[in-house]
Amino acid sequence: MEELHSETQKAEPEPLSSSKIIGLTGGIGSGKTTVAKFIEEFGFPVYYSDERAKDIVNENDVLKAKIKELLGEEAYDENGLYNRKFVGEQVFSNKDLLEQLNEIIHPAVRIDFEDWVKKQTKYLIFKETALLFELKLNKECYKSVLVTAEDNIRIKRVMDRDSKTYREVQAIMEKQMPEKDKIKLADCIIYNNTNLEDLKEITEKIIFDIE
């Protein structure tokens, strides 16, 4: 009882900024990066979590040391750059190792994001991340926006973009959270099954409707 009492009296953490954070997500090939670029065109800042993570693994020495400790020296090449291919091969079919790697990388991205938020002044700011719901980051956002499209359309787009085979894209897709679960969790949904003009129009409507 005593504990419960002190718990209820705990002060709310200070917000990092007065901006409202909107989480923007979608599975592979859904079009979330394309939507994010439109959002920037409409004048709102976007934090690209997955892109930033790629930079952070090369910029942060403490992180580098931890990753080498987990995966070995080969995690970085002779120029000291993150060896994405090697790391990918190590973790692709080793769930435990992937979890441990994520436990190193995700907190660093979180800190980087918080630093970014503190610098923002717009009333709406966006965080693009593939793992919004998986990492429960939606709980830290004012609203969540999901970009989705039919599986076949997404696969075709990624095949064209990355010259991957149908099976390769499908294998990645199968490892991600099912679309139906994401749809249940999202506050707003952008269905990206047609063309870029439609996508831009829907994006504009959704973001200017956020209250």
By CB under 6 A, how many residues form the interface with ligand ATP?
A: 16
Return phi, psi of residue 76, to 5°: -125, 140
Which is nearer to ligand ATP, 15 or 178 (by Cβ)? 178
**Residues 15, 12: Cα–Cα separation, whole Å:** 9
Q: Which stretch binds ligand ATP (CB under 6 A): 59-67, 75-83, 92-100, 155-163?
A: 155-163
Question: Footprint of ligand ATP on residues 188-207 (CB under 6 A)?
Answer: 192, 195-196, 199
Does 170 bind ligand ATP (CB under 6 A)? Our answer is no
**Residues 62, 59: Cα–Cα separation, whole Å:** 9
Question: Footprint of ligand ATP on residues 2-31 (CB under 6 A)?
Answer: 26, 28-31
**Residues 182, 57: Cα–Cα separation, whole Å:** 28
The residue from 161, 175, 184, 205 that contacts ligand ATP (CB under 6 A) is: 161
Which is nearer to ligand ATP, 23 or 26 (by Cβ)? 26
Does 184 bind ligand ATP (CB under 6 A)? Our answer is no
Q: Among residues 76, 72, 85, which one has the least CA distance to residue 58?
A: 76
Residue numbering of the annotated binding site for ATP: 29-34
CB of 7 to ligand ATP, least distance (A): 39
Written as one string, the DSSP assignment of 53-112 is HHHHHHH-HHHHHHHHHHH-GGGB-TTS-B-HHHHHHHHHT-HHHHHHHHHHHHHHHHHH
Which is nearer to ligand ATP, 119 or 175 (by Cβ)? 175
Binding site for ligand ATP (CB under 6 A): 26, 28-34, 130, 157-158, 161, 192, 195-196, 199
